[in-house]
Structure 1
Amino acid sequence: MPIDHRRGAGIATWFHDPTPITNQLTDTPYVTIDDSLQLRSSSTFGQELPPRPHPGRAEGRLDALLVASWVAPRTTRIGLIPTVTTTHTEPFHVATALQTLDHISLGRAGWQLRFSAGSAEAAAFGRRSAPEIDLDAVLAGRPDAGLDGLIDDAADAAEVARRLWDSWESDAIIRDVANGRFLDRDRLHHIDFASERLSVIGPSIVPGSPQGQLPITLLAHSAHIFALAARTADVVFITPENDAPGTGASRGKNAAQLMAEVRAAEAVEDRAATGLAPLRIVADLVVGLDTATEPGSARLRRLDDLLETPSSGDARIVAGSAEELADLIAGWHEAGVEGVRLRPLALPDDLERISSDLLPSIRARIPELPAGDGIGVRLRDRFGLPPAINRYTRAREERVA
């Protein structure tokens, strides 16, 4: 499985869940799978990546959604959250592909939404030019027309997906063979979405999936993206205590500061009116653990020497013992962070040590961390999200009432 710690793929530990199904959650309830429309050596706004390809670095990626679709029927416990970019793709196709993944996984699918600002990606598709973005304005938190346009497009894509996922009500399929009725046309809906960029009639070509609404997640470094998360997402990944340039506007801020910014953005939106629960906040951390023969710091230096550049990304990199990392994570938990996404520095070594060494250390410091094998638990449940209520069913019931 391709995991790139620079761009937000990893496994996650969920600290707590306010719903009654806590005992069904697992230490590792989901895995995120990274993807992008650009090569790893390409640069984009808000990040400083190596300016040219390097023989020690894999340039390409396997398609995250296809990887998740392959993994889904071969697993029973773990949630699957592929990254799917919306800028140059059709929201209808994205929505139906993710619905299909939810069916295959029996309700364990999610979506990490990403948009693309690069000129190389725009040229490759040839459908639209890349916007001009003032990076200084973005980092300072000022409005930027180019970025605002990308954010609006991403919000439109998410809204289209959510409407398509609702376009089949749960009782739309009749299967009345005797009378030749297989669908209830009153339970199948055109979404009739129109914006400056998109026009989608619907309905979806995929029947309603197990979760109804898949959890939408976002990796966010700035007030602009916090606002997008508050507008469209269920889960936001933050990157506290990182001084690297790749962290963008979050650079140098602690967990409490970033959480306050997320909640401030959330307060502006009437999420309840759109059927969204309070945002779940998860902190990202790149993990390089000590081994029996080599400290994590030495392993990190070897990686730096191999790539001929210091390791740096959009999340804090911590190399050390499981106890040191567990203390850091417990501190974030005390600050109110609801979960942590652990990005292994190297595979498979750090992934194995996260399971064998780090998770037991976290559990010792956070005894309320739930146990259980998680079989059959849907991803919405693992984030503590309430069951999704179909907007069309709700509207009909309100009319009847």
Structure 2
Amino acid sequence: MSARTPLHLAAEIGGTPHYDAGHYLRLARLAEDGALDYVTLDDSFARPGLDALAVLARIAPATDRVGLVPTVTTTHTEPFHVSSAVATLDWVSRGRAGWRADVSTTGAEARLFGRRPAAPPAELWREAGEVADVSARLWDSWEDDAEIRDAATGRFIDRDKLHYVDFEGTAFTVRGPAIVPRPPQGRPVTVIDATTGPAREAAARHADVVHIRATTPEAAAAVREEIRDRAAAHGRAPGAPLVLIALTVDLGDAESAPESGPVRGPRLAGGGTYFRGGPVDLADLIARWHHGGAADGFHLTPITPERDLERIVNGTVALLQHRSLFRTFHPGGTLREHLGLARPASRYATAKTAAEEA
């Protein structure tokens, strides 16, 4: 990877649960000030607190540029509802939505719903991939110009530009079309954490952005290559998906002393995926790993968001910007534009056009 390849940075704004949307809004605005690509808000059925997707829908109108990516659990939920909720977030954020697909593996969480018992991770991630697939189809089920909104004739929509998806998965079927018009981005950005093996196939087939954890730049580059090879086998374009290294950070310590030897610069604590040090050390690590071609960027999870996110933005990011390694402003208005991802055309409109030409 060239050192000139754009560096992508994202951050988690969760942590100790808060029941005040203003808390998350302050953190999202701070990330926006640093020109971060997006913020994530983690969630699960076992975690107390507010619903992540609803919180980000609340703060979307109060932010302007930063992408908003809630965790959405695909197990025990209805794919049609997931698709509608994420599309709604894209509308209220004016094209800045994504979603991080996750699964629920425990019996305790299964009993909260009472629909079915817990299942093996491989089975759940296969289902998650199907949810990602049908969601994309539902977002495509309205052509971009399907809405007429002609008050004089009383016509709201062109029915010929709505399409049934007729999707049949291993655990569900969805007929469609969607009830929400096609999102501003066409398809909101799909993010999957592919650190574990069972998630990698779903990530390779369906994710726009993949998070991974790795202990060395070489290990990260190997996982990135594996995921992209799998993606290419499914007919995806070269360079897809983007791969970000997920790193937990604790910026409560002082900067480290310079090291001697062939490998200079900060290292991960205990050889793991946990960074402890200062903002300058973190900037050095990010620059070294990205320059070496380990990944397309980093997803940072602060140990203490209220303290560490400020140090990430005003310390680490500011230093990377000073070194001309990270942008100083968002390049566009949508999350896809931040990430350099094209807006996809509706597969049904494309197929119809091809049939008409034939």
Check the 8 A contact 2:129/2:206 in 1, yes or no.
yes
Tell me the residue number matched to 1:73.
61
The alignment of Structure 1 onto Structure 2 pairs a total of residues equal to 321
Alignment of 1:96-135 (within 5 A): 96-131=84-119
- Mapped to 1, the partners of 2:292 and 2:200 lie a distance apart of 18
Displacement of 1:271: 2.1
Tell me the residue number matched to 2:38.
30
Partner secondary structure for residue 226 of structure 2: helix
What's the CA shift string for 1:177-209, capped at 9, x where partnerless?
A: 222322111001111111231111111111111
Check the 8 A contact 2:44/2:73 in 1, yes or no.
yes
Alignment of 1:104-183 (within 5 A): 104-131=92-119, 146-183=120-157
Q: 1:332 aligns with which of 272, 276, 289?
A: 289
Residues 1:355 and 2:320 are matched in the alignment: no
Residues 1:255 and 2:195 are matched in the alignment: no
Alignment of 1:88-103 (within 5 A): 88-103=76-91
How high is the sequence identity, in percent, across the aligned residues? Answer: 41
Displacement of 1:123: 1.2
Q: 2:250 aligns with which of 277, 288, 303?
A: 288
TM-score where L is the length of structure 2:
0.82
* Unmatched runs of 5 consecutive residues or more in structure 2: 1-11, 17-23, 257-268
TM-score where L is the length of structure 1:
0.74
Change (3 A) 1:347 1:179: closer
Check the 8 A contact 1:217/1:235 in 2, yes or no.
yes
Displacement of 1:267: 3.1
Tell me the residue number matched to 1:391.
347
Q: Please report the RMSD computed on the Cα atoms of aligned residues, expressed in angstroms.
A: 2.8
Displacement of 1:325: 1.2
Check the 8 A contact 1:277/1:385 in 2, yes or no.
no
Check the 8 A contact 1:233/1:279 in 2, yes or no.
yes
Displacement of 1:335: 2.7
Tell me the residue number matched to 1:141.
none
Tell me the residue number matched to 2:5.
none
What's the CA shift string for 1:46-95, capped at 9, x where partnerless?
A: xxxxxxxxxxxxxx132100110111011111110000000110011111
- Mapped to 1, the partners of 2:231 and 2:134 lie a distance apart of 21
Displacement of 1:253: 6.9
Check the 8 A contact 1:218/1:237 in 2, yes or no.
yes
Tell me the residue number matched to 2:3.
none
Residues 1:83 and 2:71 are matched in the alignment: yes
Q: 1:201 aligns with which of 175, 198, 204?
A: 175
Tell me the residue number matched to 1:3.
14
Displacement of 1:356: 1.2
Bigger mean CA offset, 340-349 vs 75-84: 340-349
Displacement of 1:266: 2.1
Alignment of 1:231-310 (within 5 A): 231-241=205-215, 254-272=219-237, 278-290=240-252, 295=254
- Mapped to 2, the partners of 1:193 and 1:255 lie a distance apart of 35
Check the 8 A contact 1:289/1:296 in 2, yes or no.
no
Q: Which amino acid aligns with 1:317?
A: Y
Check the 8 A contact 1:26/1:373 in 2, yes or no.
no
Displacement of 1:338: 1.0
Check the 8 A contact 1:255/1:332 in 2, yes or no.
no
- Mapped to 1, the partners of 2:112 and 2:13 lie a distance apart of 23
Tell me the residue number matched to 1:321.
278
Q: Which amino acid aligns with 2:95?
A: G
